[in-house]
Amino acid sequence: MSRKIITIFSFFVLLSFDLQAEDGHDLWLRGKGTNSVNVICSKKSPTLSIAMQELRQGWQGKTNEKIELVVKSDKAIKGDGFRIGKNRIQANTDIGILYGVYELMRRQQTGENIYEEVCNPSYERRILNHWDNLDGTIERGYAGSSIFWRKGKDSLTVTYTDKQLWQEYARANASIGINGSVLNNVNASPAILTADYLKKTKEIADVLRPYGIRTYLSVNFASPQVIGGLKTSDPLNSEVAQWWKNKVKEIYSLIPDFGGFLVKANSEGQPGPQDFGRTHADGANMLADALSPFGGMVMWRAFVYNPSDEDRAKQAYSEFMPLDGQFRDNVIIQVKNGPIDFQPREPFSPLFGAMKKTSVMPELQITQEYLGQSVHLVYLATMWEEFLKSDTYQEGKGSTVACCTDGSLFPQKHTAIAGVSNIGSDVNWCGHPFAQSNWYAFGRLAWNNSLSSEQIADEWIKLTFSDNSGESEIDVENSIYSPDWQVNFLQPVKQMMLNSREAAVNYMMPLGLHHIFAADHHYGPGPWWAPTGVRKDWTPPYYHKADSIGIGFDRTATGSNAVSQYQEPLQSMFSNSQTCPDIYLLWFHHLPWNFIMKDGQTLWDELCYHYDKGVRQVREFQKTWDQVQRYVDSERFSQVQTKLREQCMNAQVWKDACLLYFRQFSKMPFPNDMERPV
């Protein structure tokens, strides 16, 4: 062959070997079945039809195998749990069967063992919170606009395309066990409760229902005044209570399985019962009474703080602890994982385990408001694992946040967990290909709060990046069974994910520093940011307190005494700078720049090394990713590569900005063995 022909020939060979372009829209649901299966199910329902269809589409077991789907009550199975076996899935509910089917297919695709086992959910309600505004924008959304609401004249029109998208959304959620969606922002527009929006809510609910997803709404506490024409929204006023009762009845006539209300009250300018001299319990209970005849819930948020003299980290506990035991059974207090606000690292909120006579649910943030948004690769399951496994000591050793919230320690009437969604209209749903792993991880942890972040990463990579078409043979390059793929793709990518959150903490705010972002965008660094007129508790100097003596927020008895809200031995451990874990050091202590750390370094040097390490870690991620190019389709490969490049530049800016700023106070030299900030 002539040289020219060989070149043309090899070009086509190369082309045909390039992995298929992939826009990421299929998430972790890319597995295709190759074999036929004989599904037997004696009952009929829309949910069971989906279960059967999923099995037929995705079956990777032996060809023509028989599988039985059995809806039958069994005491060992709780809620929507299921009993799974190679040839049989049993559950008490139809949705339990569907969950069992997804579990079976996940195991087939990831090569996990399938033996007879009962799988029960950790939380009864596993809910996504969408901070979607009715004009289609998303508060803290970084992946396009809302998939539910939109701007413009036709904003209430529902199209075939919308329904298709909602169905894909529902399927993805069901595949990981999510069973609730709050469709609108907690900073809620009262308009959501008007007839037109309720009609659209019903259309969404109808699409989500067969996938076991209940619909919830965020409500504005002043709705009776704003849309109801009443003179007050006082929860103890009988007309107000009646207005809510009528509204709830109207909602249930449209959506019989409506989940309930999520409420942000008396927080960041939102109206609430305190506007009328009433308590959070008065407000929550009034709504709970309206919902209870229909089985609805109130999820009342504890995210409250005022620009008062009291340390912001203490305020939720101060306000809610005195109300413990005063809430109705169908109220559940929704508490953010940390006492401040979804920071890269916070200790757990002291409300967990402390409110013993009230149902309490964790709220996590899947959207990366404070963690590089849709630019930085940050796998959040490690953070959530750290949180769920934190020991509150409230009922002695082993009283982890997980146990305090899932009903295993306290006889909670209801259990739930919420995650603030990172989903938008972007083709790949979440903006960053790896941000999908956070949606996935939230669902998996909500189902089983003792899963490890490593196992979840392992599953997600296999489902998202392998050639899981079911034709897995040892010699197929991207098969999960290929040792080459495991060693050169799975392992390094998993390690990168597992290190990513710590890297972000290192280059943004190590050693317990928090909230040092420039302005309200919460993206880049601004430890100096404190314009006149801005609330002090919204400015970084309030949090880092750097001065000529040292750095950090004194939350011990000599300071705000926020430590007193924790149970012993945590209180003593956090109070003492010698025993306080390094990761929370500057959260609880204001320490001199030359304070000697556990490893013998000065605090200043340690701070420098952390920032420096963060930058180097991101460079390592870049190298890791460059080395896996042959295992990833070109589309996703270059997207991630480009984003990592930006992340690396951002990390550098974080380090340089923070260290140069803090050095004005420390006046100490940079250690010689680090890259100097410029």
| Chain residues that interact with ligand GCW, rule: CB under 6 A | 131, 139-140, 186-187, 264, 268, 303, 341-342, 369
Token code pair at residue 525: 């660094």
Expressed in percent and rounded to 5, the helix, strand and coil fractions of the chain are 40, 10, 45
Residue 266 or residue 560: which is nearer to ligand GCW going by CB? 266
CB of residue 552 to ligand GCW, shortest distance in Å: 22
Active-site residue, 426 included: no
CA 574 – CA 562 distance, rounded (Å): 10
Q: Among candidates 247, 183, 179, which has minimal Cα distance to 217?
A: 183
Beta strands 125-129 and 180-182: pairing type? parallel
Out of 341, 386, 426, 606, which one is annotated catalytic?
Answer: 341
Q: Among candidates 302, 275, 315, which has minimal Cα distance to 362?
A: 302
CB of residue 106 to ligand GCW, shortest distance in Å: 32
CB of residue 579 to ligand GCW, shortest distance in Å: 31
Residue 131 or residue 439: which is nearer to ligand GCW going by CB? 131
CB of residue 134 to ligand GCW, shortest distance in Å: 14
Beta bridge partners, 591, equal 551
Q: What phi and psi, each to the nearest 5 degrees, are found at residue 11?
A: -60, -45
| Number of Cα atoms under 13 Å in the Cβ half of residue 323 | 23
CB of residue 129 to ligand GCW, shortest distance in Å: 9
Q: Is the dihedral of CA 230, 232, 234, 239 positive or negative?
A: negative
CB of residue 559 to ligand GCW, shortest distance in Å: 24
Residue 131 or residue 142: which is nearer to ligand GCW going by CB? 131
Give yes or no for a cis peptide into 569 (omega within 30° of 0). Answer: yes
- DSSP E strand stretches across 423-577: 550-551
CB of residue 362 to ligand GCW, shortest distance in Å: 13
CB of residue 301 to ligand GCW, shortest distance in Å: 7
Residue 18 or residue 268: which is nearer to ligand GCW going by CB? 268
Contacts of 10 (CB under 8 A, 6+ apart): none
CA 595 – CA 576 distance, rounded (Å): 13
CB of residue 424 to ligand GCW, shortest distance in Å: 15
CA 217 – CA 258 distance, rounded (Å): 9
Residue 111 burial (CB count, 10 A) = 14
Out of 22, 124, 346, 369, which one is annotated catalytic?
Answer: 369
CA 94 – CA 417 distance, rounded (Å): 22
Residue 28 or residue 342: which is nearer to ligand GCW going by CB? 342
Burial 298-308, CB ≥16 within 10 A → b, else e: bbbbbbbbeee
Residue 187 or residue 318: which is nearer to ligand GCW going by CB? 187
Active-site residue, 341 included: yes
CA 172 – CA 674 distance, rounded (Å): 45
What are the DSSP calls for 161-221, one per residue?
Answer: HHHHHHHHHHHHHHHTT--EEE-S-SS--GGGGSHHHHHHHHHHHHHHGGGTPEEEEEE-T
Residue 346 or residue 369: which is nearer to ligand GCW going by CB? 369
Residue 83 or residue 140: which is nearer to ligand GCW going by CB? 140
Residue 131 or residue 429: which is nearer to ligand GCW going by CB? 131
Is residue 312 within 8 Å of 268, Cβ to Cβ?
no
CA 317 – CA 355 distance, rounded (Å): 9
CA–centroid distance for 159 within its chain: 29
| Residues designated catalytic | 268, 341, 369
